[in-house]
C-alpha cells in the first residue's frame, strides 16, 4: 500500500494519513464488528458477492445493522479500487459497531462505521508454494462454536492471534488449532485439507472452521473439475501426520502445500499431485471469474 492510497470511510475516500476512527469506536474497544478479506485479480474481484453475503450474514448474526445495501457496498468496493488504480489487490472490508461509550451496550452505538482498504498483500514467500510449508499444532484451542460461531467473521481475532504467537515462537509460518475435543478445526488464518487414498477431507464448520470462500472454491474444483471425492468430516492430528497430502486455503494464501507437521514429513515430503493440480485450477479460476472493476 502506497503512502498516497485512499481509504473509504463512511462514504468518503480520504488519504491514508487522514484515515481516522474514534477511540470510542466499539470495533477498537471490544472487537465488536465484522470484516472480509477479498482479492482482485487482473481487473476482476474474485467472488465478491459471496464475500458480501458472508459479511452481511456475520453482521446479522451479531445484530449489527450495516447502513448501506449490499449493492451499495459492492459499488463502494469497486469505487475504492478504481480510485486507487488497482487491478490486482487485497481488499479489507470492515464494519464496526461504531462510536459508543466505555460500556459494552451496543445500543449506545447509534451509527456503524464502514471502512474499505485496498492494497496488496503477500502472506507467504513464493518458495513455500514450490516446496511446501511446515506447520505446528499449538496448545491454544479453537473457540467453541457455542461461545462464538466460527461462521461469524468478527473483528475479535484474539483466539487466532494467541495461536499465531505460539506458531511464531516455534518458528513456523502457520499453526493447526484443535477444537475442545481434540479434532483439527483450522489454522490461525487458513482452512486445512488432507488427502488420503484419493479422498479429500476438510473439517466441518460446526467443528470450529470458518466457512472459507477459497475453501468452498477448492471443494467445488475438486469435485466437479477433478472428480475427487471431497467431504467435510472430523479428523485428528494422527490423520494429518499419515495423510498423503496436506494443504491450506485462504483468501490471502490461496492454495499452499504443507510438507511437514510437528516434525513429521507429510507424504513424499514435497507438494503432491492433487495439491499441484488444485493450485493450478484455482489460479485459472481467479483469471476467468469475478466482478469487473
Beta carbons within 8 Å of 255's beta carbon, 6+ residues apart = 214, 218, 247, 248, 249, 275, 278, 279, 282
Q: What is the CA radius of gyration of the chain?
A: 19
Contact 261, 233 (CB under 8 A): no
The span from the CA of 75 to the CA of 259, in Å, is: 41
Phi and psi torsions of 100, nearest 5°: -140, -150
Q: Which of 108, 153, 287, 292 is catalytic?
A: 153
The span from the CA of 61 to the CA of 52, in Å, is: 14
Q: Which of 214, 209, 219, 218 is nearest to 183 (CA)?
A: 209
Q: Which of 227, 242, 214, 192 is nearest to 51 (CA)?
A: 214
Contact 6, 84 (CB under 8 A): yes
Contact 251, 282 (CB under 8 A): no
Helix (H) or strand (E) holding 63: none
Phi and psi torsions of 96, nearest 5°: -100, 165
Q: Which of 234, 264, 287, 283 is nearest to 132 (CA)?
A: 264
Is 131 one of the annotated active-site residues of the chain? no
Say how many C-beta atoms besides its own lie within 10 A of residue 248's C-beta: 27
Residues forming the active site: 153
Amino acid at each position: 500500500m502506497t503512502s498516497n492510497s485512499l481509504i473509504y470511510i463512511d462514504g468518503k475516500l480520504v488519504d491514508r494519513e487522514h484515515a481516522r476512527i474514534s477511540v470510542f469506536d466499539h470495533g477498537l474497544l471490544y472487537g465488536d464488528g465484522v470484516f472480509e478479506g477479498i482479492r482482485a485479480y487482473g481487473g476482476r474481484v474474485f467472488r465478491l458477492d459471496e464475500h458480501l453475503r458472508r459479511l452481511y450474514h456475520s453482521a446479522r448474526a451479531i445484530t449489527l445493522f450495516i447502513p448501506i445495501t449490499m449493492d451499495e457496498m459492492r459499488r463502494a468496493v469497486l469505487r475504492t479500487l478504481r480510485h486507487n488504480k488497482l487491478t490486482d489487490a487485497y481488499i479489507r472490508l470492515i464494519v464496526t459497531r461504531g462510536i459508543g461509550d466505555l460500556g459494552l451496550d451496543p445500543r449506545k452505538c447509534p451509527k456503524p462505521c464502514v471502512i474499505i482498504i485496498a492494497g496488496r498483500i503477500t502472506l507467504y514467500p513464493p518458495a513455500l508454494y514450490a516446496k511446501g510449508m511446515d506447520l505446528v499444532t499449538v496448545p491454544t484451542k479453537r473457540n467453541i462454536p457455542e461461545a462464538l460461531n466460527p461462521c461469524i467473521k468478527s473483528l475479535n481475532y484474539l483466539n487466532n492471534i494467541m495461536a499465531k504467537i505460539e506458531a511464531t515462537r516455534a518458528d513456523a509460518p502457520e499453526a493447526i488449532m484443535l477444537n475442545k475435543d481434540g479434532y483439527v478445526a483450522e489454522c490461525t488464518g487458513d482452512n486445512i485439507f488432507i488427502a488420503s487414498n484419493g479422498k479429500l477431507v476438510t473439517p466441518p464448520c460446526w467443528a470450529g472452521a470458518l466457512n472459507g470462500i477459497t475453501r468452498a472454491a477448492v471443494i467445488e474444483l475438486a469435485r466437479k473439475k477433478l472428480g475427487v471425492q471431497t467431504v467435510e468430516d472430523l479428523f485428528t492430528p494422527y490423520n494429518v501426520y499419515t495423510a498423503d497430502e496436506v494443504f491450506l486455503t485462504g483468501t490471502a494464501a490461496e492454495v499452499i502445500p504443507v510438507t511437514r507437521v510437528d516434525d513429521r514429513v507429510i507424504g513424499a515430503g514435497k507438494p503432491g499431485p492433487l495439491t499441484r493440480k488444485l493450485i493450478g485450477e484455482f489460479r485459472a479460476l481467479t483469471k476467468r471469474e469475478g466482478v469487473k472493476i
